[in-house]
Amino acid sequence: MKKNREEIWGHLMGNDIKKIGVCGMGGAGKRTIVTHLNNRLIEENKFDYVIWVTVSQTLDLIKRKKIKKVRVGKLLGMLNGKRFVLILDDMWEAIGLEEIRIPEPPKQNGCKLIITTHSLNVCKYMGCKATVHVKPLSEKEALELFFEKAELDDSKAPTLKETAKLIVKQCAGLPLAIVTIASM
The structural domains of the chain, with segments of one domain joined by +, span 2-133, 139-182
Containing 91, the helix (H) or strand (E) segment is strand 84-91
Reported as a single tens digit per residue, the pLDDT across 115-131 is: 999 999 999 999 999 99
- The predicted pLDDT at position 58 comes to 57
Residue 19 and residue 105 in contact, taking contact as beta carbons nearer than 8 Å = yes
Would you place residue 163 in the very low, low, confident or very high pLDDT band (cuts 50, 70, 90)? Answer: confident
What are the tens digits of pLDDT across the range 1-35?
789 999 999 999 998 899 999 999 888 889 999 99
- For residues 96 and 86, give the distance between their C-alpha atoms in angstroms, rounded to a whole number: 15
List Cβ neighbours of 22 (8 Å cut-off, separation of 6 or more): 4, 8, 30, 33, 34, 114, 115, 116, 117, 131, 132, 134
First to last CA, the chain: 23
Predicted pLDDT of residue 70: 46
The 3 state secondary structure assigned to 33-75 is HHHHHHHHHHHHCCCCEEEEEEHHHHHHHHHCCCCCHHHHHHH
Confidence band (pLDDT; 50, 70, 90) for 182?
A: confident
- What's residue 102's pLDDT? 67
Please name the fold of domain 2-133: Rossmann fold (3.40.50)
Task: Write the pLDDT tens digit of every residue in 73-112.
Answer: 566 677 777 888 989 999 888 877 776 666 677 667 788 9
pLDDT above 90 coverage of the chain, percent: 33
Of 178 and 70, the structure prediction assigns the larger pLDDT to: 178
Average pLDDT over residues 46-67: 71
